[in-house]
């Protein structure tokens, strides 16, 4: 009896590990398409006030590009830290840009309520395709892309940011 219970437990652990490995493999971001940064900087997106903003104005800057939604709890949780990072680093040419995968009305109300100071844009459903170009095949949020001043994608992050990791990555640029 003990032997069969032990065997059953070993098989259960094996399948749990296998399931976790498959989930990680399927959800892990892939490489960005070569033209992803050019596609990003060719975009003109509305800000929460409805003003069209050419994203190319941030070309030749280090950019922390964050895809988010108002209904995404981890997205909302990391926004104050992203705001702090933007305030600290924007004078040195590093900018946080938030592209909302949501409606204009939701993003405008959210931005006003929380007083987010870094640039936010209404990407709508089209932002999902842009995130896919950067390697987010699963469509998970939040999804963040670190782009250096030469326009090279240096790293992508799927899920809530670990700010100490992001800061280390920025320091290594």
Q: What is the pLDDT of residues 21-76, one digit of tens each?
A: 333 344 467 887 889 999 999 999 999 999 999 999 999 999 999 999 999 999 99
> For position 4, what pLDDT does the model report?
61
Q: Is 25 left (phi over 0), alpha (psi -120 to 50) or beta?
A: alpha
6-10, 35-39, 87-91, 121-125: least confident range: 6-10
More confidently predicted of 37 and 18: 37
> For position 88, what pLDDT does the model report?
97
Domain boundaries, the chain: 1-30, 31-171
| pLDDT at 145 exceeding the cut of 90 | yes
CATH number of 31-171: 3.40.30.10
Prediction pTM value: 0.84
> For position 30, what pLDDT does the model report?
81
């Amino acid at each position: 009896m003990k032997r069969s219970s032990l065997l059953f437990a070993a098989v259960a652990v094996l399948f749990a590990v296998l399931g976790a490995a498959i989930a990680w493999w399927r959800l892990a971001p892939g490489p960005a398409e070569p033209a992803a940064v050019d596609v990003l900087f060719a975009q003109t997106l509305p800000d929460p006030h409805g003003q069209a903003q050419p994203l190319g104005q941030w070309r030749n800057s280090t950019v922390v590009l964050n895809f988010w939604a108002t209904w995404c709890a981890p997205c909302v949780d990391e926004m104050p830290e992203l705001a702090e990072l933007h305030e600290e680093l924007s004078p040195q040419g590093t900018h946080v840009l938030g592209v909302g995968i949501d409606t204009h009305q939701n993003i405008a109300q959210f931005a006003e309520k929380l007083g987010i100071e870094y640039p936010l844009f209404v990407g709508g459903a089209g932002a999902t395709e842009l995130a896919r170009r950067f390697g987010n095949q699963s469509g998970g949020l939040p999804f963040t892309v670190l782009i250096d001043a030469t326009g090279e994608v240096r790293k992508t992050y799927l899920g809530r940011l670990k700010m100490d990791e992001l800061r280390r990555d920025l320091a290594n640029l």
